[in-house]
Structure 1
């Protein structure tokens, strides 16, 4: 590496580290003053950075595939629901207490740590940029200066470098023993699976069709309107239809033991022995099949 390249890398590492330290410092100061808004915004920025990398907005696909292929995950609020879902459904219990650890903010911090590790190696293809996280909130009522202040190194990476940073999480592991003797392991790769897999699952589910998509769906009535769900519009899914996942019976024949009780419908009545769908599975016996003339290709005694 040339002298100029070394200097640029050092500057990048120092800038990213300073950004992270500023973010942490503001969050600590905010907690000291009883204000958690900076930490919450840092989490929102980081989760939006994840979703932007995994399900980006793609205006270039409008002419080729149609306007329904343009909106990305942040256009329909996937990042906010992801944080809400993880906060409600994923917790780590504290031994000997009745309290759980909120994992949403630690996940954002782990992503920043992975970004710093990527940058320190020089494995980022593009320089971090403080304007990238501002773009995640285009049209939102959040001051750009506040976003720049709280954005960590992960959110400042380019989309492809963010995915590389998530891949770095596979290398982060921790093993320790609790005071009560229990052995605990942490695998950073699980964080990567969560922040990559869950946004896709949410985006293509029925989630954003609920009346209040920012809340958990329990107790809400879904309109089942394909036009109201972004993932359904994009894939052409027609909505819920009764019977898609129904058990439709058990295959069997009248003279066999597979399939019993009432026959619901006949599938094939050729060759003189009809195959039908029965109400119950029946039972299997080894002697139900004619094995006359069968030769074992691999005899037990060898060749």
Structure 2
């Protein structure tokens, strides 16, 4: 492996480890509910939602570059944002749990407990950080920081409760090339029976309209 390829592999592993730590904190594994079946305990890591976030950040977000919208890969810079926020939390002394063993390819964010990772997200969301020390494009852009933190929370939940994980080996393909390989585990967790063309749709509500000079009629 060439030095450049080795560097790319290490960078990619660093990004992936950071997003694993993120989704683990937002939707953790829940062994206490395993009484309903082993699959019921699955969290976001078990369903590979970190890969979903990385794919979405690199393919489906657009930023204004000058006067134009451009699709810019955001996974790497967002991983750096999370690590910068974690470093500031640690330096401030606000981390409340002992730091975990730093896994290979990890960083400050992955070294924190799940509770402290949530504290990092709260700091970033409330802009309780030094914006000048954040990586581009987040540096000195509080609006983008709050947007991406909200997106990370919503994106993790959306990926977890959507059918994405059930695409299995095709999940990282483009959307038109994905194939459902099994029934989504998260749908079983919430009792969702799956897509059906027979579901009733709300077509409106019965209204009583008062007409001038006439009796009320239903519409």
TM bucket, shorter chain:
0.7 to 0.9
Kindly state the Cα deviation for residue 40 of structure 1 after the two structures are TM-superposed: 1.3
Structure 1 residue 54 and structure 2 residue 26: aligned? Answer: yes
CA distance in 1, matches of 2:142, 2:93: 29
Q: Name the CA shift for 1:122/1:102 in 2 (closer, same or farther; >3 Å).
A: same
The TM-score with structure 1 as length reference comes to: 0.58
Kindly state the Cα deviation for residue 239 of structure 1 after the two structures are TM-superposed: 0.7
Per-residue displacement from partner, 1:8-32 (whole Å, max 9, x unpaired)? xxxxxxxxxxxxxxxxxxxxxx66x
CA distance in 1, matches of 2:171, 2:144: 31
Where in structure 2 are the equivalents of 1:130-149 lying within 5 Å?
130-131=101-102, 134=103, 147=104
CA distance in 2, matches of 1:83, 1:289: 62
Contact 1:50 1:196 in 2 (8 A): no
Question: What SS is found at the alignment partner of 2:143?
Answer: strand
Corresponding residue to 1:103 among 50, 59, 74: 74
Give the root-mean-square deviation of aligned CA atoms: 3.1
Where in structure 2 are the equivalents of 1:234-245 lying within 5 Å?
234-244=189-199
Structure 1 unpaired stretches of 5+: 1-29, 135-146, 176-183, 253-257, 259-283, 292-303
Q: Name the CA shift for 1:185/1:40 in 2 (closer, same or farther; >3 Å).
A: same
Kindly state the Cα deviation for residue 110 of structure 1 after the two structures are TM-superposed: 0.7
Kindly state the Cα deviation for residue 84 of structure 1 after the two structures are TM-superposed: 0.3
Contact 1:124 1:161 in 2 (8 A): yes
CA distance in 2, matches of 1:288, 1:160: 65
Contact 2:59 2:71 in 1 (8 A): no
Q: Which has the larger radius of gyration?
A: 1
Q: Which one has the bigger strand percentage? A: 1
Q: Name the CA shift for 1:231/1:98 in 2 (closer, same or farther; >3 Å).
A: closer
The TM-score with structure 2 as length reference comes to: 0.78
Question: What SS is found at the alignment partner of 1:127?
Answer: coil
Kindly state the Cα deviation for residue 248 of structure 1 after the two structures are TM-superposed: 4.0
Contact 2:63 2:69 in 1 (8 A): no
CA distance in 2, matches of 1:289, 1:87: 61
Comparing both chains, which one has the higher relative contact order based on Cα–Cα distances under 8 Å and sequence gaps of 6 or more?
Answer: 2
Corresponding residue to 1:202 among 139, 150, 159: 159
Contact 2:167 2:178 in 1 (8 A): yes
